Amino acid sequence: MENYSLIFVCMVAYLVSFASAKPGIATFYTKYIPSACFKNQDHGKMIAAAGDALWKNGAMCGKKFTVKCTGPRNGVRHPCTGKSVTVKVVDQCPGCPSTMDLSREAFEIIAKPVAGIINIDYKKV
């Protein structure tokens, strides 16, 4: 009986976390330094630049998000890998068509880079 309870709790937790994700759009970029949040400090490769809707005047600097590809936005069929990635916001992407401009390394974990632009679900960690 205890095993069933544990399975049930895990399923509920998964569904709640999935339900709290927000839909958005992701693209990728390749020049990471300098950044709007941290100037010339290197914060690795699992990073993102926030689009105007997410930027909130720099309030998202340093915040982490889990991002998952949910489908194509152009003619590339089946761009998603089925994986998710956690990124830290280190920059702003003013005027970007996307919610998040991911590092190329983060993008290729969740989607084929040839897609260039994808639909995503994202949630703050």
- Average pLDDT of the chain is 90
Instruction: Please determine, for residue 78, whether its predicted confidence score (pLDDT) is greater than 80.
Output: yes
| Confidence at residue 97, expressed as pLDDT on a 0 to 100 scale | 86
Residue 7 has pLDDT above 60, yes or no: no
Q: For the chain, how long is the longest CA-to-CA vector? A: 55
Give the separation between CA 66 and CA 124, rounded to whole angstroms. 6
Tens of pLDDT, residue by residue over 15-50, are: 445 568 999 999 999 999 999 999 999 999 999 999
Query: Which pTM was predicted?
Result: 0.84
User: Mean pLDDT over residues 60-83, rounded?
Assistant: 97
Are the beta carbons of 44 and 87 closer than 8 angstroms? no
Mean pLDDT of 59-88: 97
Mean pLDDT in residue range 63-71? 98
Dihedral over alpha carbons 20, 23, 27, 32 (to 10 degrees): -30
Instruction: Give domain 28-124's CATH architecture.
Output: Beta Barrel (2.40)
| Contact by Cβ (8 Å): 45, 120 | no
